[in-house]
Amino acid sequence: MKLDRRKFIGSGGLLAGGACLLPLFNTCNSGKEGAESNYSGLGLKLSFEPYNLQLKHVFTIASFSRTTTPVMLVKIEWGGFVGYGEASMPPYLGESHETATKFLSGLRLNQFTDPFRLNEILSYVDRFADGNCAAKASVDIALHDLIGKIVNKPWFKIWGYNQEDTPITTFTIGIDKPNVVTEKVKEASPYKMLKVKIGRGNDEEMINTIRKVTDVPLCVDVNQGWKDRQEALDKIHWLKEQGVVFVEQPMDKYDLDTMAWLTQHSPLPTIADEGVQRLADVPKLKGAYSGINIKLMKCTGMREAHKMLNVARALGMKVMIGCMTETSCGLSAAAQLSPMVDWADLDGNLLISNDPFKGVTVKDGKVILPSRQGIGVSR
């Protein structure tokens, strides 16, 4: 039976939105009414500041290297409560301090006096200008954090998730010389699974170097680095023999026919990363990939990420929750979804040396959600 994508998106979006909103209002009406009676008429106050993350090591993938990541740190204040958000903007995605400043400066959140009108506020933010997904995510995260603090609940509880169901997180090993890779792997010894960047022509060297140090399960991220589908399939068969669990974005994100062929023949799951951004992309990838990697900075934040998770599950696809290089603010927001995913790649805060927040942690490789309200961060 052929799927009517328009009907599915409509019902999937409704289902996902309902899953997000019903627990919130069923659980928190009394808090909302109390807050409104005390602070009615007060508009949301948005403020932001640019910040640069310093990476502990040079970060190299198939197409570039970098040592810093620009981010925008955001606050939304209302009635004595403060919600924190973040936009992480690796340059290859086209956002910057300048674009985020322009976008955020134009928003008029003070027109909204009720932070619980989540869909209305975030729809306004999304329509305000095209693109700017990370900047939009910073507002989304801060608003979720604010609401969670008002009702005194963390978001994993608002969504009805079990704090104990969080997965292990991968730790990322970027492309580098064998001696540097060896040191990075030794530093990552507490982690139960490693994510290895490949796709620059030294794939076997990277994997063999790591296997001299550890036998933990691996996943690989090719970042569209492979060009020939038969060669890609041969590599995947070899990678399976080396203990690799799945392959992320092996081919060009626009070549869905090649990806569908590769996924059909692959002995390992294939996961879309660059090939998926927002909710509307998900149904198009059914059959082309085994699953999707959801990142808040690409999909405009927690609201849409939650919908994407539900739609992917309805399509029978695997789900991974990922990140950019981020502070513990962005990571803690993404981690609220982690009890419901197959895999997590939530190590972006572990790769930097100047994290201004405290939030989600990792113990013996497992994601540990803080019990603080909202997204669970303090500054």
Cα distance between residue 86 and residue 379, in whole Å: 13
* Structure confidence at residue 35 (pLDDT): 44
* Structure confidence at residue 30 (pLDDT): 34
Cα distance between residue 61 and residue 175, in whole Å: 6
346-358 pLDDT, tens per residue?
998 988 999 999 9
* Structure confidence at residue 41 (pLDDT): 66
* Confidence grade of residue 56 (pLDDT, cut at 50, 70, 90): confident
Tokens 């690989």 belong to 220
* Structure confidence at residue 24 (pLDDT): 38
Tokens 């996943």 belong to 219
**In this structure, what token pair is assigned to residue 220?**
């690989």
* Structure confidence at residue 39 (pLDDT): 53
| 232 φ/ψ angles, rounded to the nearest 5 degrees | -60, -45
Of 13-17, 136-140, 303-307, the range with the lowest mean pLDDT is 13-17
The pLDDT of residue 169 is above 50: yes
Cα distance between residue 150 and residue 366, in whole Å: 28
Domains and CATH numbers, the chain: 5-155 (3.30.390.10), 157-368 (3.20.20.120)
Distance set, CA 244 to CA 133, 218, 290, 376 (Å)? 31, 5, 15, 32
Cα distance between residue 348 and residue 146, in whole Å: 23
* Structure confidence at residue 57 (pLDDT): 77
Contact between 327 and 357 under an 8 Å Cβ cutoff? The reply is yes
The mean per-residue pLDDT over the stretch 8-32 comes to 36
The pLDDT of residue 233 is above 90: yes
* Confidence grade of residue 48 (pLDDT, cut at 50, 70, 90): very high
* Confidence grade of residue 4 (pLDDT, cut at 50, 70, 90): very low
Q: Average pLDDT, whole number, for the chain?
A: 89
295-328 pLDDT, tens per residue?
999 999 999 999 999 999 999 999 999 999 999 9
Contact between 137 and 363 under an 8 Å Cβ cutoff? The reply is no
**In this structure, what token pair is assigned to residue 153?**
């609940």
Cα distance between residue 325 and residue 338, in whole Å: 17
Distance set, CA 202 to CA 91, 207, 208, 222, 272 (Å)? 25, 9, 10, 11, 22
Contact between 221 and 62 under an 8 Å Cβ cutoff? The reply is no
* 3-state class (DSSP) for residue 379: coil
